[in-house]
Structure 1
Amino acid sequence: MLMIFILVAVIGFIVLATAKFKLHPFLTLILAAFLAAFAYGLPAADIAKTISSGFGGILGYIGLVIVLGTIIGIILEKSGAAITMADVIIKVLGKRFPTLTMSIIGYLVSVPVFCDSGFVILNSLKESMAKRMAVSSVAMSVALATGLYATHTFVPPTPGPIAAAGNLGLESNLGLVIFIGVFVAAAAAIAGMLWANRFAKVQPDVVDGSSAQPTEQDFAAMKAAYGTLPSPMKAFAPIFVPIILICFGSIAKFPSAPMGDGSLFELFNFLGQPLNALLVGLGLSLGLLKGENKIAEFSERIGQGLTAAAPIILITGAGGAFGAVLKATPIGDYLGATLSALGVGIFMPFIVAAALKSAQGSSTVALVTTSALVAPLLPELGLDTEMGRVLTVMAIGAGAMTVSHANDSFFWVVSQFSKMSVSLAYRAHTMATLIQGVTAMTLVYILSLILL
């Protein structure tokens, strides 16, 4: 009982420090690692070594993957590739299903681009589509936000799911995480879209005389500001070619050896490693650079990517340090046995991630922290298999989207750009993320009954 009390106290410290006192998650997790180490009685001489090895161990592989994925996302964002993706989807689906079209656009764009940035980039498109299709911009906003949110929490190479997969020992099998994540994210996106349809006749309730709603002309002007937009092939290739390579790499390693053990296996085994696949994607993204001095522009995009990736990398490393401390204590055996007796199983990661997300606002922090916390518990929870670890990532992702409210920057991006009051944003956006999380977790539970 004392061990559980200590763990609850440490989790409480993380929530209180990040949510109330606004302490940076990196420092919070490092302090939590030290607190847990002392509270559980680890030898004082081993504490620093355990924390350092946990920090470095997780970043030794996954850190470079996060950096490359972020740089590719920055290049796609700055080049107008996200606009090209959206235009392609509109041409394919037409105007018959406006919220579905908006949801799919968000679903695809958020794989390489952070959901906050994705919403800002696509806001003018969303408003012009709402006007053309005679649909409430509130419904379109919720459809776009939930589509963006779905892949943001489930599908690598988005940094949060990558970090969670790394913490759970899946860094060499991201293809399986992507494969399962695509379907779970699709269920979450559909749930969000169906909720968005409830607001088809609800109009924004914030009147701001200083700035009118974006029009179709505004969207055309925004497109023009990007200059010549990249072709669909150039826009999609930097993100989908790496994903395909990663998936083929996972297929190559199936026990049935579908690609044999010769040169074809060696090729896809090499290209399918996430680091190598993303290097291919980075090479393909060079075709999106437009300036006369492409080397200078490329260097600038790398700098912007490093700036964006640095906090995520540090938080991921700190989560690894925290997890290493927990692995060195007996809490895993004790808590695992207790939870197994209660029959919590796959719901435990969801509950912890949902509590952390709702309390401190960041989905990435919830993904990293929860994955580090539950990693030592997997054997006792009956999840210590390849598929068990993948479904644990999915359960954590479902919790990490439950719920987006006033302490989440994404909440304010959606509400402010959509001219929604706080009360309307809670009814439309926050409830949508709750429904998304519960729907995704229900699917994960069903998959656990079938696959485990």
Structure 2
Amino acid sequence: MTASFFYLLICLIAAIALIVLLTTKYKVPAFFALILSAFMVGLSVQMPIGLMIGTIKDGFGNILKLLGLVIVLGTTLGVLLEYTGSTAVMAGYILKRTGEKHAAWAMSITGFIVGLPIFCDSGFIVLSGLNNSLARRSGVPLTMMSVSLATGLYAVHCLAPPHPGSTAAAGIIGADIGKLMVYGAIIAIPGMIAGNLWAKYAGRKYPGEKPVIEVNTTVTQPGPSVIKAFLPIIVPLLLIGLKSFITLAALANTQWLIQLLPVGDPVTALMIGILLAFNCKRKWTKTELGHLLQDSVDKAGGILIIIGAGGAFGAILAATKIGAHFSEFLNLGYLGLFFPFLLTFVLKTAQGSSTVAIITAATIVQPLLANLGLDTENGRVLCVLAMGAGSMMISHANDAYFWVIARFSGLEMKTMLRVYTIATIFMGLTSITLVYILSKFI
């Protein structure tokens, strides 16, 4: 199973091309595209069939062992907040504080906060009715409002767990998920601001028309109080952040702090968030509770198999020793954080999915961490953040989220490309700049 560097490089390029071709032209689910690519690489380097299958199984299982609970619990938290009306309560509170004059900022901030536990496409669909009615009431162009909401959701979706891309990348390269949640949320703020500023500038030129799909915003039950609505998001983040701070500050020798550390584990923190989310509704029936939990598991299942397939693909690449070959033939040290950023950017632009782009990039970058100067605890976190920034750009017609925004806001292709797509470029560039600055301080 010995192959030259250039032969392995050709195999890697062919595998990436296969993933892009299958997912874009032939609409093959990402799971099968990644698994087929793993088999293609294994067969190309003449890996024994038994060893190849064992490697794929190990890669698939190991990544799910690390991330399975985080994904399922994060998805469950998002479903519960959506169902209990907590998202609408948070949006209403933020709008009341900012005022209709700053409605675009209100939607950006709402998107950011709601997007912490909820996937960007689901969050946009849930909030689109509020967004559209607010645009009519305030007189703010619908394009400006929709892209502000979309970019607020998108910024945190690309950068912070428990979203699947960054969570999977953390598992593949061994980054601390707790630190990634904290730093990802911080870096996402400038990304959100960049998206909002471009939406406000360009949105005036393309005001937008009536939405193609109107969402029913009628409230069927009273929502929770503002405090109850925010707690399921704020408390887990605080717990995770405190654990990272305690560890970083080397205070763990204090006995009572040691006892608190497990509470800040992402799994424990998300479980606490779920318990707080249950408190957002007064009465629960067995039927609705069972339906919601099953819906959460169903949604998480599709994500988990993609992540598992990414782990399998990464295990095959690691078995080929491609990282050692890169180290011998190429000096990547001078690129540092910009290599994972550029790689993810190319993959995202080519095939559309931020999740697939960052998982694929992570499998390629993992054996190159030492060569890139990122083989430290903080270096791995920065590497995932750089890939998250790359996965923002460029969102265009091959991205499912692009069409969710267009359909639920009634925006034409030309408007989407000139406002939303360009906004994602500014978001990615802003985020990688902030990641680079952060690298100088941690």
Change beyond 3 A, Cα 1:153–1:147? same
Q: Give me the whole-angstrom Cα distance separating, in 2, the residues matched to 1:175 and 1:78.
A: 27
Shift of 1:205: 4.7
Shift of 1:206: 4.7
Q: Secondary structure at the match of 1:224?
A: coil
Q: What residue ranges of structure 2 are gaps of 5+ in the alignment? A: 1-5
Structure 2 letter corresponding to 1:397: G
Shift of 1:272: 1.2
Shift of 1:285: 1.6
Change beyond 3 A, Cα 1:39–1:292? closer
The alignment status of 1:28 with 2:60, answered yes or no, reads no
Report the counterpart of residue 183 of structure 1 in structure 2.
Answer: 186
Q: Give me the whole-angstrom Cα distance separating, in 2, the residues matched to 1:316 and 1:247.
A: 25
Contact between 2:389 and 2:428, CA under 8 Å: does it hold in 1?
Answer: yes
Identify which of 94, 100, 113 aligns with 1:95.
Answer: 100
Q: Give me the whole-angstrom Cα distance separating, in 2, the residues matched to 1:374 and 1:431.
A: 27
Report the counterpart of residue 356 of structure 1 in structure 2.
Answer: 347
Report the counterpart of residue 257 of structure 2 in structure 1.
Answer: 264
Report the counterpart of residue 199 of structure 1 in structure 2.
Answer: 202
The alignment status of 1:286 with 2:278, answered yes or no, reads yes
Q: Secondary structure at the match of 1:228?
A: coil
- Pairing of 1:46-445 with structure 2 (within 5 A): 46-170=51-175, 173-206=176-209, 222-225=217-220, 227-254=221-248, 256-267=249-260, 269-293=261-285, 295-341=286-332, 343-445=334-436
Report the counterpart of residue 3 of structure 2 in structure 1.
Answer: none
Shift of 1:132: 3.4
Structure 2 letter corresponding to 1:176: K
Structure 2 letter corresponding to 1:362: S
Shift of 1:101: 1.7
Q: Secondary structure at the match of 2:12?
A: helix
- Aligned pairs, how many? 437
Contact between 2:236 and 2:272, CA under 8 Å: does it hold in 1?
Answer: yes
Contact between 2:223 and 2:281, CA under 8 Å: does it hold in 1?
Answer: no
Q: Give me the whole-angstrom Cα distance separating, in 2, the residues matched to 1:252 and 1:91.
A: 36
Structure 1 letter corresponding to 2:165: G
Shift of 1:45: 3.1
Q: Give me the whole-angstrom Cα distance separating, in 2, the residues matched to 1:276 and 1:178.
A: 14
Q: Secondary structure at the match of 1:46?
A: helix
Contact between 1:336 and 1:378, CA under 8 Å: does it hold in 2?
Answer: no
Q: Give me the whole-angstrom Cα distance separating, in 2, the residues matched to 1:316 and 1:40.
A: 24
Structure 1 letter corresponding to 2:194: A
What is the RMSD of the two structures over their aligned residues, measured on CA atoms? 2.0
Q: Give me the whole-angstrom Cα distance separating, in 2, the residues matched to 1:260 and 1:91.
A: 45
- Greater shift after overlay, 277-286 or 38-47? 38-47
Contact between 1:289 and 1:297, CA under 8 Å: does it hold in 2?
Answer: no
Residues 417-452 of structure 1 show CA distances to partners (whole Å, capped at 9, x for unaligned) of: 22211111111111111221122122223333x147
Contact between 2:307 and 2:359, CA under 8 Å: does it hold in 1?
Answer: yes
Q: Give me the whole-angstrom Cα distance separating, in 1, the residues matched to 2:189 and 2:40.
A: 39
Q: Give me the whole-angstrom Cα distance separating, in 2, the residues matched to 1:340 and 1:243.
A: 38
TM-score where L is the length of structure 1: 0.91
Report the counterpart of residue 45 of structure 1 in structure 2.
Answer: 50
Q: Give me the whole-angstrom Cα distance separating, in 1, the residues matched to 2:405 and 2:189.
A: 20
Runs of at least 4 residues off by over 6 Å: none
Q: Give me the whole-angstrom Cα distance separating, in 2, the residues matched to 1:349 and 1:200.
A: 31
Shift of 1:163: 1.6
Residues 304-323 of structure 1 show CA distances to partners (whole Å, capped at 9, x for unaligned) of: 01111111100101111111
Structure 1 letter corresponding to 2:341: F
Identity of aligned residues (%): 42
Structure 2 letter corresponding to 1:344: L
Contact between 1:337 and 1:381, CA under 8 Å: does it hold in 2?
Answer: no
Shift of 1:261: 3.1
Q: Give me the whole-angstrom Cα distance separating, in 1, the residues matched to 2:352 and 2:238.
A: 32
- Greater shift after overlay, 69-78 or 178-187? 178-187
Q: Give me the whole-angstrom Cα distance separating, in 1, the residues matched to 2:292 and 2:364.
A: 34
Structure 2 letter corresponding to 1:424: T
Contact between 2:19 and 2:37, CA under 8 Å: does it hold in 1?
Answer: yes
Q: Secondary structure at the match of 1:391?
A: helix
Change beyond 3 A, Cα 1:43–1:305? same
Q: Give me the whole-angstrom Cα distance separating, in 2, the residues matched to 1:333 and 1:23.
A: 32
Change beyond 3 A, Cα 1:446–1:125? same
Q: Give me the whole-angstrom Cα distance separating, in 1, the residues matched to 2:184 and 2:332.
A: 29
Q: Give me the whole-angstrom Cα distance separating, in 1, the residues matched to 2:328 and 2:228.
A: 51
Q: Give me the whole-angstrom Cα distance separating, in 1, the residues matched to 2:123 and 2:332.
A: 43
Contact between 1:204 and 1:419, CA under 8 Å: does it hold in 2?
Answer: no
Q: Give me the whole-angstrom Cα distance separating, in 2, the residues matched to 1:407 and 1:200.
A: 22
Q: Give me the whole-angstrom Cα distance separating, in 2, the residues matched to 1:264 and 1:296.
A: 40
